[in-house]
Structure 1
Amino acid sequence: MLDDTCYHCGDSCESNPVHFDEKVFCCHGCKTVYEIFSDNGLSYFYELEAKAGSTPNPIQKKYDFLDNPEIVSQLVEFDEEGVQVINLNIPNIHCSSCIWLLENLNKLHESISVSQVNFPAKTIRVTYKTDGFSLKVLVLLLASIGYEPYLSLEDYAKKGKKVDRSLLYKLGVAGFAFGNVMLLSFPEYFEVEEFWLEQYKVVFRWLMFAFSIPVVFYAAQDYFKSAIKGLRSRMLNIDVPIALGILVLFLRSSVDIVWDLGSGFFDSLTGLVFFLLLGKFFQQKTYAFLSFERDYKSYFPIAVTRLGTKNEEENIQIFNVRKGDRLLIRNQEILPVDCVLIKGVAEIDYSFVTGESKPVTKEKGERLFAGGKQLSGVLEVEVQKSVSQSYLTQLWGNTVFSKDKASNFQTLTDGIGRRFTLAVLTIAVLSSIYWLVFEPSLVMNVFTAVLIIACPCAIALAAPFTLGNMLRIFGKHKFYLKNTNVIERLAKIDSAIFDKTGTITTTQQDAVFYEGIELTEAEKNMLKTTLRASSHPLSRSLYSILQSNDIVTLDEFQEYEGRGLEAKADQRTIKVGSASYVGHEQKSKALNTSVYVSTDEEVKGRFVFKNHYREGVDEMFKELQQSMELGILSGDNDGEKPRLQKILPPNAKIAFNQKPEDKLNFIKGLQQSHKVLMVGDGLNDAGALAQSDVGIAVSENINVFSPACDGILDAKALDRLPLFIELSRKSIKIIKISFLLSLCYNLVGLYFAVTGQLQPVIAAILMPLSSISVVAFTTVFVNLLGRKLK
């Protein structure tokens, strides 16, 4: 006989049930969704969570307003070359099966390229092709499978988000009930027998029962949901013993008052839920405080070039950009804002946003979107929207081009939690069987005490609080990491490779002089214009010292990574770069970094740079060599080799004349036996940064935003890199010590629980206190470590 509830959403099918595929559905909408899932290989959705769907509401013409292009343009983040990107608020996201389904939308419609879920924010970011598809079709598709998005133009305009206060409400209910139950338990605590037994015993006990009902069925519901979902997915998560403990306490206490066996453990029950929710609230608030996006927004190290009224150039921080500003975007730089092209020919790579690598060509007056990378020449643009830090943060973490470099540390914590849960359940069952034989009256006390005292919440809290705090401390000292996972990987590094120019050297204090045929005024103008389009550190340094102020319009521009620049204007050609690139035959090795210049295939001369190394580099290498192997990969000649050999250990790997692909292959080869840190300038080193186990881009005063890297380090803090690595390693030690402390606490608690000496009321107090103590331990010691950076 078929179940009388809908297979998809779980609603009752008493009236007009729909039968299909030996299953019953409450309506044709749920049947249609089931068919969509089955036809597209998504039936695993029902294995993740039975009856997981939501009943689709009739929407009819509700979303006809999305046929208006003007409204759609206000909602989408990106709209170019038949590709749109939209970030939608999905209130119905509530579990892992929701995430799994929503991140597989591409299987429901071929026009959808990528869908990413932000579970805490309950949003989904979808990239889709508009050929035969639209935002309206997407919204209707989401609504049809039970995930109707919340759309509000007013909210989008204000960038506002609905605040979820459900945890606060649950905490309030649990706290209110806990306080009243404790008050009603005073006669029992103080053994006021006459008052208690003769007049109000029954009333007080049933009042405690009444107060516990909203606590169990409302305030604690998330623990039951999580436990059930875990069991349905055949996973033992840390909420299983919590939910079991709450359920057992409630049932045992209810039996006690119904049969007049005692007052039960309602004080323990409400106290347990209150302290659990208090810990969750504390954790939520701490995460909000430690939010990387907030730190990133406050300390974003990227600068852009703003043009003044007289075309003077000014480097400003990205969050100071305002609507109407004119910006200079050089070759290989990221567009930080939506803007309109004023001057130049744009060849934009939007692969960071859409995953499509085909460049898009734009001309004067056309709109450009944030996240695109300019591939050819310099642009002048007018800002249409102020910069969105959250958008760039999303861009940095976009799965389109990022790769999983290491297993997440939280996964290790979850793994420990699962084993711990299995052990706790085994101990609880075995100890209950033992006492059932020798002293049946202690069975329930032992069972409940074991489940409560051995909760692995403290273990689960250790890693996020430790790593989150360290992430915040690093951000305060100008070291910005993509996420807490990077800290764990940084702690495992045993080999560090550095780029030279723009990384361990600074172009801001270089001494530059020219050797060769004197350049004409026209050649100087063309040279400065060519350099203006490049974001390479040597180009920026040379551009800043050239006296010519006349900027000419280039007909063509091309930058060849690791070699040089080429530009054409008025039928004249100029090349700037390495000796081999411009066609110069070197008769002797250059002792310093040199940039050669040729016009119309005639070599004119070279600009010689006397490298100035950043302060503290010598000491930095001395500290690093104590715990890891070091190396230098440089695209320049080996003129600086004697200097580098003096400050590096004898076994250091030093290679010159390295092209970007050479650096990437070097890192790949080194990874066969080492965990590799790559430190570069984020330009020619993008491939090596992405390949390494941890890639760090050093930022000075130019736009070096590189989604390929895992962290951005302010150039002034480069000498602190050994300390950052040391603190990462000590953070992992703190987590391990926290695990041991939690384990010791649980072993002691389990001894008293298993032997029947621990009352549930004591366990209910001790368990949340263990979580608080672990959080306090990690917070205090991480902050003590952070003092080393001051």
Structure 2
Amino acid sequence: MSENKTIPVCYHCGEDCTQEVITHADKKFCCQGCKMVYEILNEKDLCQYYDIDENAGVSLRGKKQLQFSWLDDKLIQSQLIDYQDDKVTKVTFYLPSIHCASCVWLLENLYKFNDGILDSKINFIKKEIHFTYDSAQVSLRQLAELLASIGYTPEINLGDLDDSKRKPVDKKLIYQLGVAGFAFGNIMLMSFPEYFGLNEANATGFQKWFGILNILLAIPVVFFSGRDYLKSGWLGLQKRNLNIDVPISIGILTLFGRSIFEILSGNGAGYLDSLAGLVFFLLIGKWFQQITYNHLSFERDYKSYFPVAALLQDGTTVPIQNLKAGDIIIVKNKELIPADGMLLLGKASVDYSFVTGESEAIPKNIGEQLYAGGKQIGEALQIQITKTVSQSYLTQLWNDAVFSKEGKNQSNQTQLLADNVGKYFTYVILTIAFLTLGYWMTIDAKKAINAFTSVLIIACPCAVALSIPFTFGNAIRILGKHGFYLKNTPVIERFKKITCIVFDKTGTLTSTSKNNEITFVGKKMTEEERKAVAALAAQSSHPLSQHILNFLGVKNDFPKIKNFQEIEGAGLQGTVNQQVIKIGSADFT
């Protein structure tokens, strides 16, 4: 007589403990790695990780501990690091193991592991983590080792740092959609006799052969096109977590099993047309979701808030995405630096608050490195580009929250509510589905299967889970098309707290059309004076300064400016050929 043994499940990752069982604090683990991660999380008071999704961890069984000593190499660091100064460093890692809300929660709380980690933000769609850290307290190598120790080993490939190479297009979904669509059309075609009640087909024996052909067409639909739903549902059950794919998977398998039984037993034609149509339309929804996410992610790119074009040394302008290493650009007062480069000419005082959250301007000398996202305060600079423009990095700067640990609790409360509702909604759906099945089984078994699968499919909680990102994402996109740019989605929720709105007058409330007429009154200026005034106006990106520069007609060969200042609400001031020149309001000049 055999005795059935229950295989324990790992508390951390949810996999079966088939090789060994390690017990710690009344909890079972499949390997020392999973046990170690639990101990780390418990020590740091981060066990809420398991409350969000049970067994959410990544299994470390059989994984080798990678060595990251090569990240201590300064040349490699310069290729990976997005920004660095005396206080903070920023870097981005690709983490293929990110898969659920628990992963996001844990990775955004890494500051509790090390005081040197100031901030960590997750881009779930791209599976990226953006670190802001103090390099004096924690190194790039230690960050990679920390991620690997908790099961999120970063994938680092120096050849893929360019945005255009980072993620190839995944055609698997298109193939799945094509197979489902092909099968759906042909199964319907061979089901026409049944649709129209053509008894002649039944009498000649073709119905059975059509049914078998339909089964053959449905097999790739279920096990190829529907594989992702079945796999996700099975993993959810393994981890004792009823995700939104569980009811879909049960519905697919119920329709498939019931149809095979009916066709082979000769009791009916089954529901394979409905099955193929279900998978086909689910995949259409998934494809639409994917392109919508990409649309929301990339349509609102850096062009919304960074300069669209850069001014080259020769006076021509080029789109910033066309900048390449070696190009020399001009960055004027209050303009953002679009790409990493080396300072060639000018007195740089760079405000990196857009990058670090610190508003103190940092002086830079000729020959020093300047990072993308900094804002020049003072005279115009000549910068030689050393790295091409990174769209994903510029976009991340815009999306970054305030770099403070207190800011981590200011999450999107509506999204958290929707996630919790979607999670419990799955339990409600399954309960209703099985109650419906039990009720109809006592009345009509055929209707019972139809009612059971209908509840599972139609009442899918996907809409609840996706409603917030789609709604808020589209709101940001629509507002952006009308010239109203929001930093991120939580800003929408904070609209209700707004009590006062402050506008910048010029260019916002007043017109800056190039057709605005400029009239000169006074003694005619000499050519030297025109160049001096033009040199001062050329330092500023203010619309009125540019109009004056165009009016003077001086394009280049400007004299050198010293002691340049742009005073808010007043005007410009600088010294040219030992003569102080001012441009601005009457009170200022």
With the length of structure 2 as denominator, give the TM-score of the two structures.
0.77
Check if 1:382 corresponds to 2:384: yes
CA distance in structure 2 between the aligned counterparts of 1:424 and 1:25, rounded to whole angstroms = 31
Partner of 1:245: 251
Question: Paired residue for 1:171, among 149, 168, 177?
Answer: 177
Partner of 2:373: 371
Deviation at 1:336, TM superposition (A): 0.6
- Partner SS state of residue 131, structure 1: coil
The alignment yields a C-alpha RMSD, in angstroms, of 5.0
Deviation at 1:221, TM superposition (A): 2.7
Could you say if the C-alpha distance between residues 556 and 432 of structure 1 is closer, same or farther in structure 2, counting changes exceeding 3 Å? same
Aligned residue identity for 2:72: D
Could you say if the C-alpha distance between residues 99 and 201 of structure 1 is closer, same or farther in structure 2, counting changes exceeding 3 Å? same
- Partner SS state of residue 165, structure 2: coil
Partner of 1:8: 12
Could you say if the C-alpha distance between residues 355 and 195 of structure 1 is closer, same or farther in structure 2, counting changes exceeding 3 Å? farther
Question: Paired residue for 1:391, among 387, 390, 393?
Answer: 393
Q: Please say if residues 216 and 246 of structure 1, whose CA atoms lie closer than 8 Å, have aligned partners that are also in contact.
A: no
CA distance in structure 1 between the aligned counterparts of 2:256 and 2:284, rounded to whole angstroms = 20
Partner of 2:68: 63
Partner of 1:338: 340
Deviation at 1:344, TM superposition (A): 1.8
- Partner SS state of residue 448, structure 1: helix
Deviation at 1:307, TM superposition (A): 2.0
Mapping 1:188-267, distance limit 5 Å: 192-193=201-202, 196=205, 214=223, 218-221=227-230, 224=233, 232=241, 242-250=248-256, 252-253=258-259, 264-267=270-273
Pick which of 248-257 and 41-50 moved more: 248-257
Check if 1:20 corresponds to 2:35: no
Aligned residue identity for 2:31: C
Q: Please say if residues 174 and 219 of structure 1, whose CA atoms lie closer than 8 Å, have aligned partners that are also in contact.
A: no
Which has the bigger relative contact order, CA under 8 A and spacing at least 6? 1
- Partner SS state of residue 249, structure 1: helix
Could you say if the C-alpha distance between residues 376 and 3 of structure 1 is closer, same or farther in structure 2, counting changes exceeding 3 Å? farther
Q: Please say if residues 340 and 372 of structure 2, whose CA atoms lie closer than 8 Å, have aligned partners that are also in contact.
A: yes
Partner of 2:352: 350
CA distance in structure 1 between the aligned counterparts of 2:21 and 2:439, rounded to whole angstroms = 50
Deviation at 1:338, TM superposition (A): 1.0
Q: Please say if residues 65 and 148 of structure 2, whose CA atoms lie closer than 8 Å, have aligned partners that are also in contact.
A: no
Aligned residue identity for 1:277: L
Could you say if the C-alpha distance between residues 218 and 427 of structure 1 is closer, same or farther in structure 2, counting changes exceeding 3 Å? closer
Deviation at 1:366, TM superposition (A): 0.7
Aligned residue identity for 2:42: S
Q: Please say if residues 113 and 128 of structure 1, whose CA atoms lie closer than 8 Å, have aligned partners that are also in contact.
A: yes
CA distance in structure 1 between the aligned counterparts of 2:66 and 2:446, rounded to whole angstroms = 64
Deviation at 1:100, TM superposition (A): 2.0
Q: Please say if residues 171 and 219 of structure 1, whose CA atoms lie closer than 8 Å, have aligned partners that are also in contact.
A: no
Q: Please say if residues 351 and 372 of structure 1, whose CA atoms lie closer than 8 Å, have aligned partners that are also in contact.
A: yes
Deviation at 1:342, TM superposition (A): 1.0
Q: Please say if residues 177 and 270 of structure 1, whose CA atoms lie closer than 8 Å, have aligned partners that are also in contact.
A: yes
Partner of 1:139: 144
Mapping 1:550-629, distance limit 5 Å: 551-567=558-574, 576-578=583-585, 584=587, 596-597=588-589
Post-superposition Cα deviations, 1:340-398, rounded to whole Å, max 9, x if no partner, equal 11112212122212233343221001110111111233222122233333432332222
Q: Please say if residues 2 and 23 of structure 1, whose CA atoms lie closer than 8 Å, have aligned partners that are also in contact.
A: no
Pick which of 284-293 and 4-13 moved more: 284-293
Could you say if the C-alpha distance between residues 198 and 117 of structure 1 is closer, same or farther in structure 2, counting changes exceeding 3 Å? closer
Q: Please say if residues 218 and 276 of structure 2, whose CA atoms lie closer than 8 Å, have aligned partners that are also in contact.
A: no
Aligned residue identity for 2:119: V
Post-superposition Cα deviations, 1:618-642, rounded to whole Å, max 9, x if no partner, equal xxxxxxxxxxxxxxxxxxxxxxxxx
CA distance in structure 2 between the aligned counterparts of 1:206 and 1:319, rounded to whole angstroms = 52
- Partner SS state of residue 109, structure 1: coil
Deviation at 1:534, TM superposition (A): 2.6
Mapping 1:766-777, distance limit 5 Å: none
Aligned residue identity for 2:325: K
Post-superposition Cα deviations, 1:530-582, rounded to whole Å, max 9, x if no partner, equal 43333222333334445787745455344332344454678876655445xxx
Partner of 1:611: none
- Partner SS state of residue 166, structure 2: coil
Can you give the 5+ residue segments of structure 2 that lack an aligned partner in the other structure? none
Check if 1:123 corresponds to 2:132: no
Partner of 1:537: 543
CA distance in structure 2 between the aligned counterparts of 1:229 and 1:526, rounded to whole angstroms = 75
Aligned pairs, number: 574
Q: Please say if residues 227 and 243 of structure 1, whose CA atoms lie closer than 8 Å, have aligned partners that are also in contact.
A: no
Question: Paired residue for 1:447, among 432, 439, 452?
Answer: 452
CA distance in structure 2 between the aligned counterparts of 1:171 and 1:439, rounded to whole angstroms = 34
Partner of 1:160: 165
Partner of 2:98: 93
With the length of structure 1 as denominator, give the TM-score of the two structures.
0.60
Check if 1:81 corresponds to 2:86: yes
User: What percentage of aligned pairs have identical amino acids?
Assistant: 42
- Partner SS state of residue 352, structure 1: helix
Which has the larger share of strand? 1
Deviation at 1:268, TM superposition (A): 2.5
Could you say if the C-alpha distance between residues 408 and 484 of structure 1 is closer, same or farther in structure 2, counting changes exceeding 3 Å? farther
Post-superposition Cα deviations, 1:132-154, rounded to whole Å, max 9, x if no partner, equal 42222222222222222222122
CA distance in structure 2 between the aligned counterparts of 1:334 and 1:66, rounded to whole angstroms = 30
CA distance in structure 2 between the aligned counterparts of 1:166 and 1:44, rounded to whole angstroms = 35
Could you say if the C-alpha distance between residues 367 and 462 of structure 1 is closer, same or farther in structure 2, counting changes exceeding 3 Å? closer
Mapping 1:99-110, distance limit 5 Å: 99-110=104-115
- Partner SS state of residue 78, structure 1: strand
CA distance in structure 2 between the aligned counterparts of 1:258 and 1:203, rounded to whole angstroms = 8
Partner of 2:274: 268
CA distance in structure 1 between the aligned counterparts of 2:74 and 2:538, rounded to whole angstroms = 38
CA distance in structure 1 between the aligned counterparts of 2:38 and 2:14, rounded to whole angstroms = 13
Can you give the 5+ residue segments of structure 1 that lack an aligned partner in the other structure? 585-595, 598-790
Aligned residue identity for 1:15: Q
Deviation at 1:415, TM superposition (A): 9.9
Could you say if the C-alpha distance between residues 466 and 82 of structure 1 is closer, same or farther in structure 2, counting changes exceeding 3 Å? closer
Aligned residue identity for 2:507: G
Aligned residue identity for 1:249: L
Partner of 2:312: 306
Q: Please say if residues 339 and 367 of structure 1, whose CA atoms lie closer than 8 Å, have aligned partners that are also in contact.
A: yes
Check if 1:39 corresponds to 2:43: yes
Post-superposition Cα deviations, 1:740-764, rounded to whole Å, max 9, x if no partner, equal xxxxxxxxxxxxxxxxxxxxxxxxx
Could you say if the C-alpha distance between residues 484 and 109 of structure 1 is closer, same or farther in structure 2, counting changes exceeding 3 Å? closer
CA distance in structure 1 between the aligned counterparts of 2:20 and 2:414, rounded to whole angstroms = 50
Deviation at 1:119, TM superposition (A): 2.0
CA distance in structure 2 between the aligned counterparts of 1:408 and 1:374, rounded to whole angstroms = 36
Q: Please say if residues 111 and 119 of structure 2, whose CA atoms lie closer than 8 Å, have aligned partners that are also in contact.
A: yes
CA distance in structure 2 between the aligned counterparts of 1:392 and 1:346, rounded to whole angstroms = 21
CA distance in structure 2 between the aligned counterparts of 1:32 and 1:225, rounded to whole angstroms = 26
Post-superposition Cα deviations, 1:89-146, rounded to whole Å, max 9, x if no partner, equal 2222222222222222222222222222222222222222211422222222222222
Mapping 1:620-699, distance limit 5 Å: none
CA distance in structure 1 between the aligned counterparts of 2:116 and 2:6, rounded to whole angstroms = 37
Aligned residue identity for 1:220: Y
Could you say if the C-alpha distance between residues 221 and 425 of structure 1 is closer, same or farther in structure 2, counting changes exceeding 3 Å? closer
Q: Please say if residues 116 and 134 of structure 2, whose CA atoms lie closer than 8 Å, have aligned partners that are also in contact.
A: yes
Deviation at 1:513, TM superposition (A): 4.5
CA distance in structure 1 between the aligned counterparts of 2:319 and 2:212, rounded to whole angstroms = 66
CA distance in structure 2 between the aligned counterparts of 1:256 and 1:460, rounded to whole angstroms = 35
Partner of 1:51: 55
Could you say if the C-alpha distance between residues 353 and 229 of structure 1 is closer, same or farther in structure 2, counting changes exceeding 3 Å? farther
Could you say if the C-alpha distance between residues 409 and 528 of structure 1 is closer, same or farther in structure 2, counting changes exceeding 3 Å? farther
